[in-house]
Structures are given as C-alpha cells and as structure tokens.
Amino acid sequence: MSAQTQFELSDPPSDAISALKFAPASLRLLVASWERNVYLYDTSESGGRLLQTFEHRAPVLDVCFGDTDEDAYTAGLDQDVRHLNLSDGSQTVLSSHAMGVKSLVYSSQHRILISGSWDSTLHIHHPASPSIPPASVALPSKPFSISLTATKLVVAMASRALHIYDLAALAAAVSSLPKPTEPTTTATPIQIEPWQRREGSLKFMTRAVACMPNDAGYASSSIEGRVAVEWFDPSAESQARKYAFKCHRQANDQGIDVVYPVNALAFHPVHGTFASGGGDGFVALWDGVAKRRIRQYQKYASSVSSLSFSGDGKYLAVAISPGFEDGREGVGEGVVKIFIRELGENEAKGKGMK
C-alpha cells in the first residue's frame, strides 16, 4: 500500500452500501449493496481491485466471512440466508426466514452462523455439517443489530429489548436436533433461554451494536446521536460502570445542534478501542474504558453507513452512502464510495494504553 493514509476504492456499488466486512486473515473486503449485489475487493494495493460481483434476487443487507477467505455468507430482503463460495461463485440457500434478514454473524470458535430477521427470529446454522438442520429461536421483538464475542451473542431489538446468549449453549442445542433424512432449509424451532435479558440504555431506536474483542462487554448506538458502553459482568460494581454519551451532532448556522444517527460501530481487534460512523459524515475513534475521544477524521461527503477493521487492525474500511438525513431521496452518481484508511501504529491506541 502506498504511503498515503487513505485511498478510495475503484468500482464502488452504484446504490447504498448496507454492510462491509474484511476477511479474517487478509485484505479481501466484502461489500453488500441495495443494488442486489455483493462485491469482493482486494484492498492490498492503492485503489483496490474488484475481484468479483455476485448478483442476488433483492437488496443485500449483510455479509460476513466464514472460516476461510473463500467462504462468505449473505442475507437480505429476499429472506434467504446464503453460503457464497468465493472460488467458484456458487450460492447455496441455508435457510429462509419469513421476512427480510437484517444481520449475519459467524462464530469461528463454534462454527455456527447466526442470522437475525425482521420476522423476530434468529436462525442458527452449522454450515460445515449439512446433516444438522438450521434452528429457529423466537425473539420478543425485531432484531436491529447482532454482534458476538468468542463466547456470547448480543441481540439488540426493538422496544429497547436486548438479549445476551451463550454461544456454546446455542451450538449444543442445534447439534442435538434430530437429523433429517435429507438436507433442509426449514428451520426447526428450539427453546433456549438467553444468558441475560436487559433493557437497552438508549431511549431511541438502536442502530448498531458491536462487542468488545476481549469478551468483556459491548457498545450500542442509536438514531439520536448517542453511544452506550456496557459490560457483561452482572455484578453491581460492573454494571455501575456502564455509561452513554452524545456524539455525531453538528451545530447549524443558527448554532443549534443537529442530531444524526450513529449508523456504524466497530471495535479495533488489537487495542479494544472503537470507531463510530454517523449520518453527519464523520468517523470518530473512542477509548471506551477511559471515556475519551481519541480523534475524529475529516468529514466525508455523505453519511457513513458501515465500518470494518482488518483482522490485524492496521486498516479501517469506511463506506459512505446517502442516509437521507437531509430529507433528499435518491442516490446521485458518484456519491456512494468506499475508503480504506491505513492506521498509524498508535492511531487507534487508547489514551492510557502503553
């Protein structure tokens, strides 16, 4: 990569970007778009290179990698959860929800894929074991965002509901299901209690949730320019540490704060700090333990829709798309862009870290 700290990817999608994810062990980048395509880029060189485009039946809302850089999973408004073989381009439907699928996460520790749909269910899949049928877990409300650690799954839902599941228990419950005579995409309902039930700390609708890489807690964001930081430990002492703060608010010409949604959150895999991206076009880095902002980058041309750190934490991918915060609809040509930022050695390090 060249000495410049940031470059723009060539050949971006022509419609809004819903999600982007770096591969676990390389600089391959998956991008999901409302134009019904998934894009695969090589971002190891300035400008990047579009490797492949995978067409879907409807807008794609989320993507993630599996165990290798050749395995990917996609989901969106066609209601299907799909495995995408990046080597030969083949697509396999793993399960079908009753409504659009908003979120996907893959646990490499337990080798399970979890999808969250607006039909108020989670589907749990064992992609490496086709003989194990997908399972369905009923939720009390629509899931807006899901994230996981090595041991836990966090599901942020409507009505400020939040469930935390034990991943080992989820994986065991699915593995114990009776094996069908033939592979099936129909999910079998299972009863499993969450490890914890919580009420979200933010009063307004949750936009994103992201878990700390050290398995200690998570951050969540809302449409009302706030981020909350919380810890899993249920002790009174640990729960007293949780807090929320205002961000992504910009003063207008009259000096009045305009509040923007915080669309994206991503934790740095090494330092444990996190990035937030807002409808104001800004990306900020935060030290959640010290409760301080580390830095804020220059304003992007439109709303920040998704963020992803590379597996080694040396790069940050930033997707910008019109967020309609200004009341105008439609996507103009050249407005949707993806930037790859190379981070300095201490750029994402917290204030008190050595």
Query: pTM score, two decimals?
Result: 0.94
What is the tens place of the pLDDT at every residue in 188-245?
A: 999 999 999 998 888 889 999 999 999 999 999 998 999 999 999 999 998 899 999 9
CA 328 to chain centre: 26
pLDDT-derived band of residue 296, with 50, 70 and 90 as boundaries?
Answer: very high
Better-scored residue on pLDDT, 250 or 49: 49
SS3 286: strand
Given a cut of 80, whether residue 334 has pLDDT beyond it is no
CA angle 286, 291, 295 (to 5 degrees): 30
Q: Is the pLDDT of residue 354 over 50?
A: no
DSSP string, 194-252: -SEEEE-S-SSPEEEEEE-TTSSEEEEEETTSEEEEEES--SHHHHTT-EEEE-SEEE-
Q: What confidence tier does 182 reach under pLDDT thresholds 50, 70, 90?
A: confident
pLDDT per residue over 131-141, tens digit each?
A: 899 999 999 99
Angular region, 246: left φ>0, alpha ψ -120 to 50, beta rest = beta
| Whether residue 106 has pLDDT greater than 90 | yes
- Let me know if 352 is exposed, middle or buried by CB neighbors in 10 A (0-12, 13-18, 19+): exposed
Q: What is the mean pLDDT of the chain?
A: 92
pLDDT tens by residue, 242-264:
999 999 988 888 888 889 999 99
Q: Over 60: is that where the pLDDT of 345 sits? A: yes
